[in-house]
Each structure stands twice: as structure tokens, then as C-alpha cells.
């Protein structure tokens, strides 16, 4: 006897059957970005090797050389290096590994120079104030019309506090003496580098703008004076300018009216840097379309109004990379003041190691430490410049 088995599928409701066979298509997920990049890199490498074999062989040899140099640097600077302040251990590892203990032994002399040992906290505090106001000034929000007066006031207070900490008195007045006085000839290390670079940049930039405007002026006498000054200064090295400011300039003044050596050096760097700044600004002025000047004249704007509101904003926006490059050059040129007995970072390193026979063989480690400080400031300036360019490009 045939028994008919019940068909459970036929017993299901049509709505359930239709829902069981309904599917929702999901869009394909994109391949991982990292995987795509690796594949694209391998394809480019394959194409490069197959189409340009000699260039590929040269690249492989160069890569091998770089890896060898990195291996040697790693062995010397990390693996076989001595990090503790131990002169005997450094002597044992000499020739095989670096002696970074020299930085721990001499870092106060390197960073603060000949500043009195018991008062070096003042130099550290002054540097922290300058670095803090610089970090604050990088933020574009503090330069809005509402906060700009407060930012400029903070800069003024910071500069006064810096001078009071370094000199020991407010504005150099004896009846405002706060701490033991320290002569400017004893200032050195990082504070001296910062005050020379920031001071010369702040003074050379407006002077360079004025010189650039004078060189492009229609008045022959003004143009000739500016051209002679710029070409004369650019034709001599900075060392000669420092010598003139330090040794020759006092001979032209009465003995009781000779300015401080730090002011003379700052003036020399400022006048030297202003000539290069003028040429950078002149390039930006030439990049502004002549129609902008004609439009300003059609609005009956005067010469200084035209330069302030129309020409200079566009010109300065064009020359941001050149100006920052000039600032970096000024920052590094401060190392030349050692020849006039002012010991910034490089000079302080010489003072710290030349007089100590035990640590004198490790100058390379000291110079690498100073190079790291210079690189930090210069790289930070370049990144600030890049961010400023991108922000102006988005406007």
C-alpha cells in the first residue's frame, strides 16, 4: 500500500516561501588600501626592472649602500653605544660605539654656555617662555582681529620677562634688580641662539620690505640708494659684517657711548639679512599682476594704501617658501658669532669639550646633539611654512 507523505513545503504559506527566496544584493567591498598599494608598488617595480635594467641595477646598489650605512650607524649609535655618564666605559667602547654620556655630562654647558651655574635655571625658564609663545603663535586662531592684541601683548610680556631673567633686572635698571646681574658677554647656548635669530628676523623683515619697495620705486635717488645697499651687503660675507660691527663700529663712537657687543652683533646680522630679505620680497612684488596696481589707482588709493591693502598681501603670500628659507638661513648663521666671542650652541660645545681632556675625544657626539637641535627648529619652520601655504591655497 502506497502511503502518501505529506508535502510540508506545499503546506507553507506563499508569503513565507517568497521571503525564503528573496535576497538583498550587497555591494562589493573595496579591496584593502594597503593591499592595493603593495600590488601597485610591485607592478611599478616590475615595470622599472624590465624596461630600465641599468637604472634598476644602480638603484639596487644604492639601496644596498644605504642599508650598509644604516647598519653601521645603528651599531655605532645604539648597539655598541654607551649611554651612561661613565668616562671609563666610553674609553673602552671608543672606536666601536658612541659615547652619549658626554651629553649628560656637558649638556648644561652646551645649552646655557658660560651663564653662572647657580643661575642657569633662569636661562632654562627664559627659553621655555620663548618656546611657549612661539608654539602659541603658530595657531592661526590667536591672530584673529579679536585676539591679535592679546597675542601681541603676550609677545611683549615674554620679551621683557626673557630680558629680566637673563640680565637679572627689569629693562636693565638697577633699582629694578631682581636677581644677580649677568653681563651679556656671559649669555650663551640656546638662549643666545634664540635671541639672535628671533631678533634679527623681527627686525630684518620690515627693513627688507622697505628696501624692496625702495628698489622698485619710481624715485631715482631712493632706488639708487637701495640698490647700492643691497648689492654692497650681498657682496660681502657675514663674517666681515660681524667683525665690522664688533671691532670697527666702536672705533667710530666715543668710548663712553659704545653699545653692548650683543646689540652690535644683532645689528650686524639684521642689516645683513635685510638685504637678502629685500630680494625675496622684490620677487614677490614682481609676481603681482600689474592690473592690481591699476585697479587700486582707479579706486583713488594712495601709494601706501595700495601697498598695504593690495600689493603686499599678495606679494607676501607668493614668497612664503623663500621667506622661510631665509629665516632658516638666519637661524643657522647665528653660529658664526663665535668668532666675536659670543658662544651660542656651537661655541658652547667648544667651551664644554676643549677644556676637558677626558671628554674632548667625543666631539662628534656633541655635534650630532647640536645638529639634532638645529634640525628640530628648521624642520618645524618648514612644516609651519607648508601648513601656511596649504591654508592660503584653500581660500
The predicted pLDDT at position 173 comes to: 65
Name the grid cell of 74: 645603528
| pLDDT tier, 392 (very low <50, low <70, confident <90, very high otherwise) | confident
Name the grid cell of 319: 614668497
The predicted pLDDT at position 102 comes to: 92
pLDDT tens, 162-191? 999 998 887 666 667 778 888 888 999 999
* Tally of CB atoms within 10 A around 322: 17
Q: What proportion of the chain, given as a percentage, has pLDDT over 90?
A: 49
Please answer whether residues 273 and 326 qualify as being in contact, where contact means their C-beta atoms are separated by less than 8 angstroms: yes
What's the pTM value of the predicted model, to 2 decimals? 0.81
Is pLDDT larger for residue 393 or for residue 322?
322
Name the grid cell of 157: 610680556
Chain centroid to CA 341: how far?
25
The predicted pLDDT at position 160 comes to: 92
Which string of DSSP letters, residue by residue, matches 230-243?
A: HHHHHTS-HHHHHH
Name the grid cell of 339: 668668532
CA dihedral over 240, 245, 249, 255, signed as positive or negative:
negative
pLDDT tens, 348-373? 999 999 888 888 889 999 999 999 99
The predicted pLDDT at position 25 comes to: 73
With CA atoms as reference, report the closest residue to 265 among 206, 159, 185: 185
Q: Mapping DSSP to helix (H, G, I), strand (E, B) and coil, where does residue 25 land?
A: coil
| pLDDT tier, 151 (very low <50, low <70, confident <90, very high otherwise) | very high
Name the grid cell of 389: 601655504
pLDDT at 239 over 70: yes
Question: Cell 517568497 maps to which residue?
Answer: 18
Separation between Cα atoms, residue 274 and residue 370, nearest integer Å: 27
Name the grid cell of 12: 507553507
The predicted pLDDT at position 99 comes to: 92
pLDDT at 158 over 70: yes
Least trusted range by pLDDT, from 22-36, 49-63, 264-278, 294-308: 22-36
The predicted pLDDT at position 355 comes to: 83
The predicted pLDDT at position 57 comes to: 81
DSSP state letter for 358: T
pLDDT at 10 over 50: no
Separation between Cα atoms, residue 205 and residue 165, nearest integer Å: 27
| pLDDT tier, 74 (very low <50, low <70, confident <90, very high otherwise) | very high
| pLDDT tier, 3 (very low <50, low <70, confident <90, very high otherwise) | very low
The predicted pLDDT at position 103 comes to: 92
| pLDDT tier, 152 (very low <50, low <70, confident <90, very high otherwise) | very high
- Domain positions in the chain are 40-80, 119-171, 183-393
Q: What proportion of the chain, given as a percentage, has pLDDT over 70?
A: 89
pLDDT at 246 over 80: yes
The predicted pLDDT at position 34 comes to: 66
Separation between Cα atoms, residue 60 and residue 65, nearest integer Å: 9
The predicted pLDDT at position 377 comes to: 94
Mean per-residue pLDDT, 65-81: 92
Please answer whether residues 384 and 377 qualify as being in contact, where contact means their C-beta atoms are separated by less than 8 angstroms: no
Question: Cell 639708487 maps to which residue?
Answer: 224
The predicted pLDDT at position 36 comes to: 75
What is the largest distance, in Å, between two alpha-carbon atoms of the chain? 138
Please answer whether residues 230 and 238 qualify as being in contact, where contact means their C-beta atoms are separated by less than 8 angstroms: no
177, β-bridge pairs: 169
Q: Chain-wide mean pLDDT for the chain?
A: 86
**Which CATH architecture best describes the domain 183-393?**
Orthogonal Bundle (1.10)
pLDDT tens, 77-115? 999 999 998 888 988 888 888 999 999 999 999 999 999
With CA atoms as reference, report the closest residue to 356 among 174, 109, 147: 109
End-to-end CA distance of the chain: 90
With CA atoms as reference, report the closest residue to 381 among 76, 82, 29, 137: 137
The H-assigned helical ranges of the chain are: 8-11, 14-20, 33-51, 53-74, 87-92, 101-112, 120-138, 148-167, 189-215, 220-234, 238-243, 261-287, 290-298, 303-306, 312-318, 320-333, 345-354, 363-393
Cα atoms in the Cβ-side hemisphere of radius 13 Å centred on 258 = 15
Please answer whether residues 267 and 245 qualify as being in contact, where contact means their C-beta atoms are separated by less than 8 angstroms: yes
Separation between Cα atoms, residue 331 and residue 194, nearest integer Å: 8
pLDDT at 1 over 50: no
Please answer whether residues 121 and 168 qualify as being in contact, where contact means their C-beta atoms are separated by less than 8 angstroms: no
The predicted pLDDT at position 226 comes to: 94
Mean per-residue pLDDT, 146-163: 93
Least trusted range by pLDDT, from 151-155, 224-228, 320-324, 391-395: 391-395
pLDDT tens, 11-52? 445 444 444 556 677 776 665 666 677 777 777 777 766 777
Chain centroid to CA 326: how far?
11
Amino acid at each position: 500500500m502506497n502511503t502518501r507523505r505529506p508535502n510540508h513545503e506545499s503546506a507553507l504559506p506563499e508569503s513565507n516561501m517568497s521571503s525564503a527566496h528573496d535576497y538583498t544584493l550587497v555591494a562589493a567591498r573595496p579591496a584593502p588600501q594597503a593591499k592595493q598599494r603593495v600590488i601597485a608598488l610591485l607592478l611599478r617595480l616590475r615595470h622599472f626592472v624590465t624596461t630600465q635594467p641599468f637604472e634598476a641595477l644602480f638603484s639596487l646598489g644604492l639601496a644596498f649602500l644605504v642599508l650598509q650605512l644604516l647598519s653601521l650607524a645603528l651599531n655605532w649609535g645604539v648597539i655598541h653605544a654607551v649611554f651612561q655618564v661613565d668616562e671609563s666605559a666610553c674609553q673602552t667602547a671608543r672606536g666601536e660605539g658612541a659615547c652619549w654620556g658626554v651629553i649628560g655630562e656637558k649638556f648644561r654647558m652646551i645649552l646655557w654656555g658660560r651663564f653662572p651655574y647657580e643661575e642657569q635655571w633662569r636661562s632654562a625658564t627664559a627659553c621655555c617662555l620663548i618656546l611657549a609663545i612661539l608654539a602659541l603663535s603658530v595657531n592661526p586662531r590667536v591672530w584673529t582681529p579679536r585676539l591679535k592684541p592679546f597675542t601681541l601683548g603676550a609677545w611683549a610680556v615674554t620679551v621683557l620677562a626673557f630680558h629680566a631673567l637673563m640680565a637679572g633686572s627689569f629693562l636693565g635698571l638697577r633699582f629694578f634688580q631682581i636677581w644677580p646681574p649677568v653681563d651679556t658677554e656671559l649669555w650663551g647656548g640656546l638662549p643666545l641662539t634664540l635671541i639672535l635669530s628671533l631678533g634679527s628676523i623681527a627686525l630684518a623683515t620690515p627693513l627688507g620690505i622697505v628696501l624692496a619697495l625702495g628698489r622698485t620705486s619710481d624715485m631715482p635717488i631712493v632706488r639708487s640708494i637701495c640698490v647700492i645697499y643691497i648689492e654692497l651687503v650681498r657682496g660681502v660675507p657675514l663674517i666681515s659684517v660681524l667683525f665690522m660691527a664688533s671691532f670697527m663700529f666702536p672705533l667710530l663712537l666715543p668710548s663712553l657711548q659704545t653699545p653692548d657687543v650683543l646689540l652690535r652683533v644683532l645689528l650686524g646680522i639684521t642689516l645683513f639679512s635685510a638685504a637678502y630679505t629685500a630680494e625675496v620680497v622684490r620677487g614677490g612684488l614682481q609676481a603681482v599682476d600689474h592690473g592690481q596696481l591699476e585697479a587700486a589707482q582707479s579706486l583713488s588709493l594712495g601709494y601706501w594704501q595700495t601697498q598695504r591693502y593690495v600689493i603686499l598681501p599678495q606679494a607676501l603670500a607668493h614668497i612664503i617658501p623663500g621667506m622661510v628659507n631665509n629665516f632658516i638661513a638666519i637661524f643657522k648663521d647665528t653660529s658664526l658669532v663665535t668668532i666675536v666671542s659670543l658662544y651660542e650652541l656651537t661655541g658652547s660645545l667648544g667651551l664644554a669639550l676643549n677644556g676637558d681632556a677626558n671628554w674632548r675625544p667625543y666631539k662628534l657626539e656633541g655635534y650630532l646633539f647640536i645638529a639634532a637641535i638645529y634640525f628640530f627648529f628648521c624642520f618645524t619652520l618648514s612644516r609651519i611654512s607648508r601648513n601656511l601655504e596649504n591654508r592660503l591655497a584653500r581660500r
